[in-house]
Amino acid sequence: MPLVTSKEMFKKAYDGGYAIGAFNVNNMEIVQGITEAAGKLNAPVILQVSAGARKYAKHVYLTKLVEAAIADVDIPIVLHLDHGADFETCKSCIDGGFTSVMIDGSHHSFEDNIAVTKKVVEYAHERGVTVEGELGRLEGVEDDVKVSAEDSAYTRPEEVEEFVTRTGVDSLAIAIGTSHGAFKFKPGTKPQLRFDILEEVEKRLPGFPIVLHGASSVPQEYAEQINKYGGKMKDAIGVPEDMLRQAAKMAVCKINIDSDLRMAMTATLRKYFAEEPGEFDPRKYLGPARDAIREIVAHKIKNVLGCDGKA
């Protein structure tokens, strides 16, 4: 099956009360782990590529890996640009075979965000590519940009209709208290999301797909395994999975997960090297790391997103 856009996928997800997992890809083992899990569970999936991933692996390697994945598994796959910083980056991905892009104008003023998002939408839609915009700012780290708690801001529901109407975006990322990375909430505090904002957005944009970034749940067993074998992930706290399930049943159609996959790989590799200090064949340790990705993605699909069997 050729790559698809997010249009049909989100419509079905909205109507069906589930969400699609958007997982970040950086190398072959990650692409294989994700798509093998999705293929086995007959689940649609979004493979997303950040600017950092393009820099690390090169655009052409990532698109060719995804091309290999669509030949290998028969499920709908979207190839999406994560956090496109400007028009040029989005254009380069649209011209380079992506079927969906995010233009992240959330750091701009409302008017400047609208201007750059609209420009991307016009270019993308003429070429059959879908666009995700963002309103509100998430705390945390993306590439080299760190957004502090003071600079983060919840989405203002009163702005969403104007933003969507004037830009023509196909989906909208909103800030309701999630954040990027593995340290999302202060230790000792109760993780909370602003479901009231999500509800208000849903009311104002009926039937419109909403996106949740920073949605890793930071499994404690991985954090403990990383700590046990010399890592430093004490106090790592994610978004509780029941909250993500609730969001998936609402207007949230796309849930972004990267940190959990990083943790799965890191926990596996740390344990492996502690137990097999003499091993130096990369296939011996990257194989189990890929297995761990497959396992965590299967868990998300079945227990968090609810998109198994929806391909």
Cα 214 to Cα 225: distance, rounded to the nearest angstrom: 22
- Bridge partners of 252, per DSSP, are 210
CB of 275 to ligand G3H, least distance (A): 28
Closest CA to 80 of 201, 257, 238: 257
- Spacing of C-alpha 89 from chain mean position: 18
Indicate whether 80 belongs to the interface with Zn ion (CB under 5 A). no
Identify what 136 binds: ligand 13P, ligand G3H, Zn ion, none; CB under 5 to 8 Å per kind. none
Closest CA to 43 of 74, 66, 3, 72: 74
Q: Are 117 and 131 in contact (CB under 8 A)?
A: yes
Number of chain residues interacting with Zn ion (CB under 5 A): 1
Indicate whether 200 belongs to the interface with ligand G3H (CB under 6 A). no
Residue whose tokens read 């796309």: 254
CB of 27 to Zn ion, least distance (A): 19
Q: Are 157 and 197 in contact (CB under 8 A)?
A: yes
Indicate whether 216 belongs to the interface with ligand 13P (CB under 6 A). yes
Indicate whether 82 belongs to the interface with ligand 13P (CB under 6 A). yes
Site for ligand 13P in 31-50 (CB under 6 A): none
Indicate whether 260 belongs to the interface with ligand G3H (CB under 6 A). no
Please say whether the dihedral angle defined by the alpha carbons of residues 50, 54, 57 and 62, taken in this order, is positive or negative.
positive
CB of 260 to Zn ion, least distance (A): 13
Which of 233/311 has CB closer to ligand G3H? 233
Which residues in this chain contact ligand G3H in the complex, by CB under 6 A?
24, 50, 52-53, 82-83, 142-143, 180, 258
